[in-house]
Amino acid sequence: MRLDLTILAPYLGFLGQGAALTAVICLLSLAGAVVLGMLVAIARTSQTVWIRRLAFIYVDVFRNIPFIVQLFFFYYGLPEIGIYIDAITTGVIALSIAGGAYASDAIRSGILAIDNGILEAAEVSGLSKRVTFTRIVLPIALRTSVRPLGSVLINMILTSSILSTITVNELTGQAKIVASDTFRPFEVYAVLLVVYAALTWLVSIGISRLHKRLNRDLASEAA
Amino acid sequence: MLKVENVKKAFGAATVLDGVNLTVSPGEVVSILGSSGSGKSTLIRCINGLEKLNGGRIVIDDFDVAKPKELAEARKRSATVFQLFNLYPHMTTLQNIALAPVEVLKRPRAEVEQEARALLASVGLSDKVDAYPAHLSGGQRQRVGICRALAMKPRYLLLDEVTSALDPEMTAEVLAILAKLAREGTTMLFVTHEVDFARQISNRIVFLDKGVLLVDLPTKKFFAASGGLAQPRIAQFLSKMKKD
Ligand SMILES: Nc1ncnc2c1ncn2[C@@H]1O[C@H](COP(=O)(O)OP(=O)(O)OP(=O)(O)O)[C@@H](O)[C@H]1O
Ligand SMILES: [Mg+2]
């Protein structure tokens, strides 16, 4: 069998559309996951028992269910009880929820790592809990959790390929179509392997840069 | 006035403060001396509300730190400088200083920042306005820590071993600033191991020993053979300090 990539040339634009959709879905889901992760990280330190418990249950549950099962539940299960959401939105919601469970861990460890002396300085100066959280705790925690949040993003890029199973034509979805159009699955999926590897590699470089940039002024992890 | 009345503090079974009484009037500089573990830091932490009392009362200008509603007012009247600086690492020196005056005292940002720049200039850090703490030396960080406390215009400045994380040169530069504040009439409650410096700037010296306030004397008297030195614990402490 010969590897003949020229037959893919007419489909590059088509695959590019898929890659663009993958990027959009992942960025939206990352935003969703970080917001959710932040809320859950806060909830996990709440004074109220049931809020804390709920947050722990969410993290535990969504980390212990295969993503494809969560996805099928949202896409095929919910319409049974009258909730219809289009495929792309479903994908973003599912990825956000799944990613949020991991993001909350990352942000939570960022919060717990903050030097207690800094919080005491804030407290004695009379800063409210809310201001301390929004102006001190969160900005520091988000900076220090850039790397783990980056892992969440990379995972999301990989996992987003599963959205092709619910008719979302992101990168993998488009590739499936090209493979069946051309009857050349070897070439198509070989390219797909390379593209995903390149994509995650680029993202991880970007994350390292961002980490350096955001943390160069922080004492502990300036390097 | 800052009044500490019969304060008791215990951690589990260990009594750390055992009926401490202390009054600091506006304009006074009072130094707290005592061996390691005698409860000096704990006393400061009780005054700024970081530790709950197990007995007694602390009032700052009539606001009781044990009452949640009054604690906020009490905290507006005092400010703390910490041994390990505790600057906000993600903020520039200017932002470190301006945060609380803007957020707590609700003062206009422009005015606060102008004052912050003047404060930084007064401690020789005009060129570090936009620097982050990680890029400052220990002595510079502590000078920022002092500015951050002063920016709140506290009636009482609480300082807990603010030079013990610094080398001698940096210690000197921070002590020079504190001496200047003392001359200008800043009210200070000053925990230190720098006995000589305490002697220079203090109106009074109190000595804590195992959670008990052994003496509270005017500085001269504290160092007089018939005064503080008459107490064996204090004589022992001072001679040990000399040796170090
Ligand atoms: N959070 C705490 N839990 C338990 N014990 C504590 C706590 N904080 C302080 N202690 C104990 O209380 C005693 C007094 O501590 P404190 O820090 O007030 O001493 P200090 O006079 O400031 O000593 P140093 O000169 O070493 O700073 C010590 O025996 C210390 O171990
Ligand atoms: Mg101490």
Residues A122-136 have pLDDT tens digits of 999 999 999 999 999
Q: Which of A115, A123, A143 sits opposite B50 (nearest CB)?
A: A123
**Residue B101 pLDDT:** 97
How many residues in total does chain B contain?
Answer: 244
Residue B129 lies in a domain: no
pLDDT of A1 > 80? The answer is no
> Which atom of ligand 1 is nearest the CA belonging to B191?
22
A179 CA from centroid of ligand 1 (Å): 71
Residue A13 has pLDDT above 50, yes or no: yes
In the structure, what pLDDT confidence band is assigned to residue B107 with cuts at 50, 70 and 90?
very high
What does the pLDDT read at residue A76?
94
Closest by CA to B132, choosing from B124, B141, B119, is B141
Report how far residue A182's alpha carbon sits from residue A93's, in angstroms, rounded to the nearest whole number: 33
What is the three-class DSSP state of B97? Answer: helix
Angle, alpha carbons A152-A154-A156 (nearest 5°): 70
- The interface pTM score, or ipTM, of the predicted complex is 0.93
The chain A residue lying nearest B79, using CA atoms, is A125
B55-60/B29-34 β-pairing: unpaired
- Asked if B90 is an interface residue toward chain A (Cβ–Cβ < 8 A), one would say yes
| Structural domain contains residue B15 | yes
pLDDT at A15 over 80: yes
pLDDT in tens, B168-218: 889 999 999 999 999 999 999 999 998 999 999 999 999 999 999 999 999
Cβ A22 vs Cβ A159: under 8 Å: no
Contact partners, residue A138, CB within 8 Å, separation at least 6: A38, A111
Beta bridge partners of B8: B18, B55
Question: pLDDT digits over B49-85, tens only?
Answer: 999 999 999 999 999 999 999 999 999 999 999 999 9
CB contact at 8 A, B180 and B150: no
The two tokens of residue B179 are 């001496």
CA A16 to chain CA centroid, nearest Å:
21
- CATH code of the domain made up of A20-170: 1.10.3720.10
Residue A222 has pLDDT above 60, yes or no: no
Domain that holds residue B35: 2-86+155-243
Q: Is B188:B157 a contact under the CB 8 Å cutoff?
A: yes
Whether residue B203 contacts residue B10, with contact meaning beta carbons closer than 8 Å, is answered with no
Number of domains composing chain B: 1
Name the phi and psi angles at A161, rounded to 5. Answer: -60, -25
For residue A223, pLDDT over 60 is answered with no
Handedness of CA B126, B132, B133, B135 (dihedral sign): negative
Q: Is the CB of B41 under 6 A from ligand 1?
A: yes
Please tell me the residue having the least CA distance from ligand 1 atom 25: B36
What digits encode the pLDDT tens for the residues A177-215? 999 999 989 999 999 999 999 999 999 999 999 999 988
Looking at CA atoms only, how far is residue B70 from chain A in angstroms? 12
Q: Which residue of B86, B94, B107 to mutate against A (max A Cβ within 10 Å)?
A: B86
User: What pLDDT does residue A219 have?
Assistant: 59
Tell me the average pLDDT across B106-124: 95
Q: Cα(B145)–Cα(B158) distance, rounded to whole angstroms?
A: 12
Distance CA A104, CA A33 (A): 8
Phi-psi region of B169 (alpha: psi -120 to 50; beta: other; left: phi over 0): alpha
DSSP-assigned letters across all residues of B117-160:
HHHHHHTT-GGGTT--GGGS-HHHHHHHHHHHHHTT--SEEEEE
Strands B78-81 and B156-160: parallel
CB nearest to B104's CB, from A117, A121, A127 = A127
- The enclosing domain of B216 has a CATH number of 3.40.50.300
| Closest alpha carbon to A112 in A48, A45, A47 | A45
**Pairwise CB contact (< 8 Å): B75 & A219:** no
pLDDT tens per residue, range A157-166 = 999 999 999 9
Taking phi over 0 as left and psi of -120 to 50 as alpha, with beta for the rest, B19 belongs to: left
**A116 — phi, psi (to 5°)?**
-60, -30
What is the count of residue pairs from A and B with beta carbons less than 8 Å apart? Answer: 69
Residue pair A93/A113 in contact (Cβ under 8 Å)? The answer is no
Q: Which of B83, B103, B146, B156 to mutate to test the interface with A (most CBs of A within 10 A)?
A: B103
Q: Is the Cβ pair A218, B82 closer than 8 Å?
A: no
- Please answer whether residues A175 and A15 qualify as being in contact, where contact means their C-beta atoms are separated by less than 8 angstroms: yes
Tens of pLDDT, residues B148-171: 999 999 999 999 999 988 898 899
Residue keyed to tokens 């020229």: A6
Looking at residue A45, its pLDDT comes to 84
- CB atoms under 10 Å from CB of B103, counted, come to 19
